[in-house]
Structure 1
Amino acid sequence: MLFNLKKFVSFFLEPFTFGFLVLLLAFIFLLFNSYKKAKSILFVGLIFLFLISNSLFSNFLISPLENQYKDQKNIDISKVEYILLLGGDFEARAYEVLKLSLRLKDAKIITSGYAGKKLISDALYAKNELISLGVNENRIIMQDKPKDTIEEAISIKKLINDKPFILVTSAYHMPRAMKIFQKQGLNPIAMSTDFTSKKQKSNSYLSIKELKKVTMAIHEYIGLAWIKIKEIFN
């Protein structure tokens, strides 16, 4: 119930949905011959589109998320027993997992994530890809039931209890992931990857890439706000 409610709220607060609603509202005013109102709404929509699809704004939103766990490379990881790869964008996170697997040759790798509408789960996909990249299959543990980060944290708590582990996920997602895992009494070592807000030589405008970054950032801020709301009502 809560999972579906969160998804519903997130959907209506994301830029793509907002843009669609602006166009729909303008179209409704056109149907009723309110041309001035339709033009005004379309003008606001264009300004909004320009704002959310340029690198200055996208980096402004996503940098505070990505920089929270940026400098974690000098932390002692010698006692780590598990490397947890959260479900999602495997290609963006795989390099970090491979590096860690070479440094920590005895550590188990946990792949996580459910299938949803896909043919195979994120956990199975990640497992197969890691094996193809040379990781021994015996090192990999799958958790293919969790649907989101909260369920992943609950599942990992049951699996490894308080054993030391590294959490690998995209930099923009790490702050929310860490809060969720800490609420389960876990204290993972954060290893962020897939930084998107690195310095650029020039600013990008009307870019799908920047629009995607804004969408990701807003999704994370909604998730962080959701955690706060649950704290208040619990």
Structure 2
Amino acid sequence: MDWFLLKKLVGQLLQPMILILFLMLLALLLFHSRRHVARVSLFLATLFLFGFSFIGVSNSLIAPYEQRYPTFSQQQQRLDYIVILGCAHTSDDNLGASQQLQICSLQRMVEGMRVANMHPEATIITSGAALYDSTSNAQKVKQALIELGFSGDIITNDKAKDTEDEAMLLMPRLTNTHFALVTNANHMPRAMTYFEQQGLTPTAAPTGYFVKQGALSWQDYFPDANQLHKTETFFYEFFGQLWQWLKS
């Protein structure tokens, strides 16, 4: 059995939108035969859709993950490596390499460059396999770094399917080194745990924050698809951490 595929499939089926659509479909199917059940199902679907799309709910869910580690600041000791964890891209020869990166990969690449500007002595390691593309995410991020003028050393780790793979495959190189671990802030707690389970001691370099301090406008308090995406990201990380805990 392909456990990687099974994990991804279960994770998708447990997303809020799937639950909402299931409840709506159930309401339609039972509208004539079980009207009470249909009404309850439709009420729950509406409640979840509104709640998961509201900034107060989405922020309160994801903020604890994002606030676990502070942003990266210049270290007093030498930094050996900057590890940019893989995310996603779509290869398109009509676009530049950086334009082919999805937002999560673009955010991680920019943070990697920021850390490299503080520590030019460090070697960047890009990571991520070619799951649904002809080019690995590690290679595409490397191409984007070069395209944007980065001239330092870059090593690619293009066999890793997920964060657990990244930690295991990079462990031999990173043992007894000082390195920064770059990934999205909501994903950082799970990533740090995987690398620490390999006996490594990374310094967190989180990026791509959903929740930022600052005043909100009245428009922010309306249900919004961006907030629903934020809630889905929380559930993805929640079930990822649950899987991590069960395996350990």
Task: Give the corresponding residue for 2:187.
Answer: 173
Structure 1 segment 25-174 matched on structure 2, within 5 A? 25-30=26-31, 32-73=32-73, 76=75, 78-88=77-87, 89-136=104-151, 139-174=153-188
- How far did 1:211 drift? 0.8
Gaps of 5+ in 1: none
Q: How many residues align?
A: 228
Change (3 A) 1:91 1:72: closer
Cα separation, 1, equivalents of 2:205 and 2:84: 10
* Contact 1:70-1:171 at 8 Å conserved across structures: no
Cα separation, 2, equivalents of 1:72 and 1:134: 22
- How far did 1:77 drift? 5.1
- How far did 1:28 drift? 1.8
Q: Deviations over 1:176-222 (max 9, x none)?
A: 10001100111100011111111351333321111111111111111
* Contact 1:114-1:145 at 8 Å conserved across structures: yes
Q: Deviations over 1:27-54 (max 9, x none)?
A: 2213x54344323311210111000011
Structure 2 residue matching 1:111: 3-state secondary structure: strand
Aligned residue identity for 1:28: L
> Is 1:212 the equivalent of 2:229?
yes
* Contact 2:128-2:137 at 8 Å conserved across structures: yes
Cα separation, 2, equivalents of 1:150 and 1:77: 29
- How far did 1:106 drift? 2.1
* Contact 2:71-2:204 at 8 Å conserved across structures: no
* Contact 1:204-1:210 at 8 Å conserved across structures: no
Q: Deviations over 1:83-102 (max 9, x none)?
A: 00001122222222111112
Change (3 A) 1:201 1:133: same
Q: Deviations over 1:49-104 (max 9, x none)?
A: 00001110010010000000025426x25311100000112222222211111222
Cα separation, 1, equivalents of 2:159 and 2:20: 33
Aligned residue identity for 1:96: E
Cα separation, 2, equivalents of 1:69 and 1:77: 18
142-151 vs 117-126, which moves further: 117-126
* Contact 1:78-1:104 at 8 Å conserved across structures: no
Percent of residue pairs identical: 35
Q: Deviations over 1:89-130 (max 9, x none)?
A: 222222221111122222111111112112322111111110
* Contact 1:146-1:155 at 8 Å conserved across structures: yes
Cα separation, 1, equivalents of 2:221 and 2:184: 22
Aligned residue identity for 2:196: Q
Cα separation, 2, equivalents of 1:195 and 1:60: 13
Aligned residue identity for 1:83: I
Cα separation, 2, equivalents of 1:39 and 1:179: 43
Gaps of 5+ in 2: 88-103
2:244 is aligned, of 211, 222, 227, to 227
87-96 vs 49-58, which moves further: 87-96
* Contact 1:52-1:211 at 8 Å conserved across structures: yes
- How far did 1:144 drift? 1.0
